[in-house]
Amino acid sequence: MSWLTAGYQVFGPDPEVLDWLDIAGPAALETARDPGHRANWLRHGGTWFAGVNVLDNDGQGRVAGGRPLGGAALSAAEAVSGALPLDPGQVSVTYPGYPRQDTGESDANHRYRKTRDAAHLDGLLPVGPDRRRMLKEPHAWILGLPVTDCGAGASPLVVWEGSHEIMRARIGAALEAHPEAEWPDVDLTQAYHAARREVFETCPRVELPARPGEATLLHRLALHGVTPWAELSESPAEGRAIVYFRPHLPGGVPDWLRLP
């Protein structure tokens, strides 16, 4: 089943991805160890390094003079969006015990992270003091590239199969009630929450414990999250590390809604 139908697809192992990891993998782990980055990005009692846009790559994915990123997953993504310059990669690392509760984090938010895998839609950001959800980052797709080899219970990515079409229908209805020029500032909170409830009730939840050399391609509208770390899960000292690329669509929110 393709990523356009299911909302996700795991590719590989892919020699081009493994070649890219020769330099990009160690660079990503070094970034996650950097004290300055850890001060900015360590969350949930030290059990998650969020690492948004911290990888020092160019638009083709090259890191420190290494190879450009290639492979079947990237080709499949670009067949829909066209070739796009890659954003600086997110280096997301989970560690044993994820998620612990942060100081200041509400019990409700922490409970949602534990029981619903912190399920979310990328690009739909909380805005203002009331944290109303608005589509400020229209990503083309989400490409995850595992860096470390971990057991299946070590906080893998999770996705709700078919959720992208429910999100498209409910959020699209909310957007299309307004002129396109206003779409980035439309309050989508109610539509998003309704879509999320429908997804939880109707879509299969799928865990994706991919390994280095594989690549996970997520549809930009797919609801996804990270599972809590299971006791006795196997992992290296570096934890479960994954590099994510989420390039923006040049056509903005209309492309985000209407592309396949």
**pLDDT tens across 72-109, in order?**
999 999 999 999 999 999 999 999 999 999 998 999 99
Q: Which of residues 62 and 237 earns the better pLDDT score?
A: 62
The arithmetic mean of pLDDT across residues 174-198, rounded, is: 98
Does the pLDDT of residue 232 top 90, yes or no? no
* pLDDT value of position 173: 98
Q: Which residue has the tokens 């280095």?
A: 212
Which residues, 6+ apart, have CB-to-CB distance to 15 below 8 Å?
213
Distance CA 143, CA 90 (A): 10
Domain coordinates in residue numbering, the chain = 3-258
State the pTM of this model: 0.97
Give Cα separations from 31 to 25, 95, 233, 247 (angstroms). 10, 15, 24, 20
The CATH architecture of the domain made up of 3-258 is Sandwich (2.60)
Does the pLDDT of residue 241 top 90, yes or no? yes
* pLDDT value of position 64: 94
Does the pLDDT of residue 209 top 80, yes or no? yes
Give Cα separations from 170 to 5, 175, 182, 198, 202 (angstroms). 18, 9, 17, 10, 14
Taking the alpha carbons of 169, 174, 176, 181 in that order, is the dihedral positive or negative?
A: negative
Using alpha carbons only, what angle is made at residue 94 by residues 113 and 205, rounded to the nearest 5 degrees?
Answer: 50
Tell me the pLDDT of the chain averaged across its residues. 96
- Which residues make beta-bridge pairs with 144? 216, 244
* pLDDT value of position 47: 97
* pLDDT value of position 234: 79
Cβ atoms of 9 and 73 within 8 Å: the answer is yes
The arithmetic mean of pLDDT across residues 209-238, rounded, is: 94
The arithmetic mean of pLDDT across residues 117-124, rounded, is: 97
* pLDDT value of position 235: 84
Does the pLDDT of residue 1 top 80, yes or no? no
> Confidence band (pLDDT; 50, 70, 90) for 145?
very high
Cβ atoms of 29 and 54 within 8 Å: the answer is no
